[in-house]
Amino acid sequence: MTGSVHATLDPASRARSPHPPPGTAPAGRPLAAVAAAFTLAQLLLVGTGLGLGWDETVYVSQVGHHAPAAFFSAPRARGVSLLVAPVAVWSSSTALLRLYLAVLSGLALFWALRAWRGLFPVRVLALAGGLFASLWVTLFYGPQAMPNLWVALGALAATGCFLRARTGRTALWGLAGGAALMAWMRPVDAVWATLPLFAAGLARRRWRPLLVLAAGLAAGAVEWVAEAYTSYGGPARRLADGSAIQGGLGWHLAVVDQLRALGGRTLCRPCAGALPHPVYTFWWCALPPLAALAAAVAVRARRPAATALLLGCAATAAFPYLFLIGYAAPRFLLPAYALLAVPLADALVRLLAVRRPPVRALVCAALAVHLGAQLTLVHRVAGTHTRARAAWARTAAELHRRGVAPPCLLTGHEAIPVAYAAGCASAATAGHNANTTRDALTRATRRIPVAALVPAGAAPPGYARDWPSTAVGAVRLYYVVPGGAS
């Protein structure tokens, strides 16, 4: 690696310098190009025709007027609902929402990478952005109303701004903003991701950035805490309820589960079956040795602080999802991937600078295969989910044909997304989303249309046995329309 790439310096002294080290300026154009490519890839590979998913429906329904708000369970936070509000409060267009989120996530990626200017060369940051943005899970969730990508980008920005906190108010505002964004989306994840920042700040007695970090987390979590008192019996009770919904937090070895999910499974619960093809998983297995190489590169360049902090934050962000939860979803590890992207890009740049053509060729070939696999996979996953979510729209259309139209109430199998598509309220008498009783459902049938969605071949609930029914795809609709026909 050239001297410009290995220019070393303590991160704080670099940040104080009015001029970035050679090879780092101008930072804007390459990073803007990466962010723009990220947005464009989302629109091309995921598209705007992807219907709302289950969790998205919950978040969007809190602020939209298309249907009554779905039940909001304890583990959730309202950051995503507020994020989509500028579109959802006045439009029910999913395509417009996808476009808005794709553009916004591209801008957020640019912001998060810019937070590291002066700490790493621009080519490292651009490669880091490309590595993270080209993962199928990053592309798939970029235009979706889900919290994990925003935690990831907030964590990356906050960590960079923490190291640059001595440069002035801009970095401090960035630190507060990144921390608030994380806590706004998922308060518990925000705490895990910032543990090394608190440890580093206390060890070096950097009180000002510590206070700003704590203030940012508090500002982002204040709504979650207030709602915990008003609706869940306090923060401790809300955390306990959230743990129960997630199967009980405790020692669970979910490393292999996460590996299984890399083949395109957005939720692996229960997680069984064969491992995906190695072409989809070799990059994940390469993370530990590349992280070790990144640490060695940073030590040799006499600038270990930034790399160590990134690796530490990535480790703590990943820890609960690898060892404390009994199932897997690739999106859970997005914060760890974002934090790892910069030191791993630094290590790859070092490998590409080796004056041995076979090494360069091997690295380039591995990156090409990885990129092709990720882009192919996101296209396949997006297509599968587009078709599955279209089935909910067909079920909603059949409900309307049967007279189940707003104001109406749905319960049963996949009632939350189908109810949103139909403009109905959703309810459950059991499970984690329970918010009503059988007697209440029976009383509701006297006032409004009510439907129960039952998997094909399964018995209907007792209160719906005498209702008219019809099959639609993989479900059977049992419905009643007061004063109407079947």
Give the lowest-confidence range in 315-324, 425-434, 443-452: 425-434
HSE-CB for 341 with a 13 A CA cutoff: 31
* The pLDDT of residue 431: 84
The model's confidence at residue 26, banded by pLDDT at 50, 70 and 90, is low
The model's confidence at residue 432, banded by pLDDT at 50, 70 and 90, is confident
Sign for the pseudo-dihedral over CA of 435, 148, 277, 253 = negative
* The pLDDT of residue 4: 37
- The Cα–Cα gap between 243 and 237 comes to 10
- Written as one letter, the residue type at 351 is L
Q: Provide mean pLDDT across the span 392-411.
A: 96
Q: Provide mean pLDDT across the span 238-267.
A: 91
Is the predicted pLDDT of residue 386 greater than 90, yes or no? yes
Element (H, E) at 427: strand 425-427
What residues pair up with 476 in beta bridges, in sequence order? 454, 471
Is the predicted pLDDT of residue 439 greater than 70, yes or no? yes
Element (H, E) at 475: strand 475-480
* The pLDDT of residue 485: 53
- The Cα–Cα gap between 323 and 63 comes to 34
CB 165 within 8 A of CB 212: yes
The model's confidence at residue 102, banded by pLDDT at 50, 70 and 90, is very high
Q: Provide mean pLDDT across the span 137-166.
A: 97
Is the predicted pLDDT of residue 265 greater than 90, yes or no? yes
pLDDT in tens, 184-199: 999 999 999 999 999 9
Q: Which residue is listed with tokens 């440890």?
A: 199
- What are 296-300's contacts with CB under 8 Å, separation 24+? 297/1, 297/346, 297/347, 297/350, 298/343, 298/346, 300/6
Is the predicted pLDDT of residue 408 greater than 70, yes or no? yes
Residue spans of the domains in the chain: they are: 11-353, 386-480
Is the predicted pLDDT of residue 22 greater than 90, yes or no? no
* The pLDDT of residue 1: 38
Q: Provide mean pLDDT across the span 154-170.
A: 94
